[in-house]
Amino acid sequence: MSDGARSFADIGYDEAMRRARALVPVLRERADRAEALREMQKETVDDLHRTGLLRFHQPRRWGGMELEFVSLFDIPAEIGRGCASTAWNVANLGVHHWMLSLYDERAQEELWGKNPDALIASGIAYPQGRGRRVDGGFVISGFWNFSSGVDAADWNMLAVTVRDGDRVVDHRMCLVPRSDYEIVDDWHVLGMRSTGSKSVRAVDIFVPEHRALCMYLARGGSEFPGARVNPNPLYRVPLSALGSHCLAAAGVGNAQAALELTLEAIQERSTSYTAMRMRDFQAVQLRVAGAGAKVDAARLVIRTDCLAAQRIAGENRAPTVEEKLRFKRNVAYAMELCTETVDALHALAGANGIYDRYPIQRLFRDQHALAGHIGFSWDAQGAPWGLVVLGGEFSSPTL
């Protein structure tokens, strides 16, 4: 680790969660301004660096916390109570430290040796990038949407499909420095505005072999290049099977925030027409109870997956295809529960829910924006598990 760099190697789970919890009221205060800026505020980035909350899965030898896998969900979920967009970026930028741990040791040295706080954005859709093998590495080009937190990032992980002629021969996640790609400011969206998830473009960029991770080696187990220096079972968890679980934390945190804000509002409100207290209506009580049960269920489903993945990694085996697809099924179902929660609570707000000053309108928009992620599509993620358990075959090169 470079001289003078901050180390968080002595920070445990409880302290990390305390730091995340302490940011919630600050993030709630900043949320409207951050949304107007369409990116994370500098003050928020500074707070995340100061607390180390972006380095929860970075190896301790680089000054990271190297916490158990479940922290990948728990920390962003707590932050999501304050701001779903910030939680989304914490999940993204934090999980990229975990992903860098899978790369060749030279790539880790190249980034963390200079700056262990270095932020890495991503473009994860393989069809949006194309690559060809050349001497010493790859030449890549592409246009990638949804590169969350890209304005604050020093690097980007860009997914490419590698072809030999018309034949697909590889899938790589390529580390590219900020100087080698263009940020395209097209992030004008319904919700999750302060994630700053702009697009990036790269044209004929050379990426050396050690900065191009073969994703067939990240499907679970110890075949990835960084295994020699990062032996913790944490890094054996398959990326493609659980890569959406950190992002789901933003949805759970957002639904929890909707519940908390609704409870506060109802405790203070009477109806406009009868002067009866809203809390005395059984329909209101049932709506709130249902919302609480759904967000608790969503949290439990996702945490159970994370704990199961950590256990399987500790057994030094890769999950079966059925297990991987079950994880993907579960996270999509959990997000449906969160969206149902936010929808029900937004409806409960009545006419108040249409005012910009009423925070639940932003939570409503954020929930529907984040739920559009392909990892949360029930149609896309539920059907493959159903196919496999019914005796069919499912094939994906990166799963």
Domain ranges of the chain: 13-112, 120-216, 239-389
Cα–Cα distance for residue pair 75/105, rounded to 1 Å: 27
Whole-model pTM: value is: 0.96
Question: Is it true that domain 13-112 has CATH number 3.30.1330.10?
Answer: no
User: 205: which strand partners?
Assistant: 140
Residues 139, 132 contacting (CB under 8 angstroms): yes
Q: For 299, what's the count of Cα atoms within 13 Å in the CB-facing half-sphere?
A: 21
**Architecture of domain 239-389 in this structure:** Up-down Bundle (1.20)
Cα–Cα distance for residue pair 90/193, rounded to 1 Å: 15
Residues 240, 324 contacting (CB under 8 angstroms): yes
User: Residue 47 has which token pair?
Assistant: 């707070």
> In angstroms, how far is CA 151 from the centroid of its own chain?
17
**Contacts (Cβ under 8 Å, ≥6 apart) of 145:** 123, 125, 128, 197, 199
The residue written with tokens 């304005």 in the block is: 151
- Across the chain, which has 399 residues, the per-10-residue mean pLDDT values are 81 98 98 96 98 98 98 98 98 98 98 97 96 98 98 98 96 98 98 98 98 96 95 95 97 98 83 68 91 98 98 95 98 98 93 85 97 96 97 93
DSSP letters spanning 118-179: --EEEE--GGGEEEEEETTEEEEEEEEEEETTGGG-SEEEEEEEEEETTEEEEEEEEEEEGG
**Architecture of domain 120-216 in this structure:** Beta Barrel (2.40)
- Give the H/E segment covering residue 84: helix 84-100
Q: For 7, what's the count of Cα atoms within 13 Å in the CB-facing half-sphere?
A: 12
What are the DSSP E strand ranges found in the chain? 120-123, 129-134, 137-147, 155-164, 167-177, 182-184, 198-208, 212-214
Distance (Å) of CA 144 to CA 94, 101, 130, 162, 276: 20, 23, 11, 15, 53
Cα–Cα distance for residue pair 261/232, rounded to 1 Å: 39
Q: Determine the pLDDT at residue 358.
A: 84
Q: Determine the pLDDT at residue 268.
A: 76
Q: Determine the pLDDT at residue 272.
A: 53
User: Which amino acid appears at position 131 of this protein?
Assistant: G
Q: What is the pLDDT of residues 184-196, one digit of tens each?
A: 999 999 999 999 9
Cα–Cα distance for residue pair 66/53, rounded to 1 Å: 11
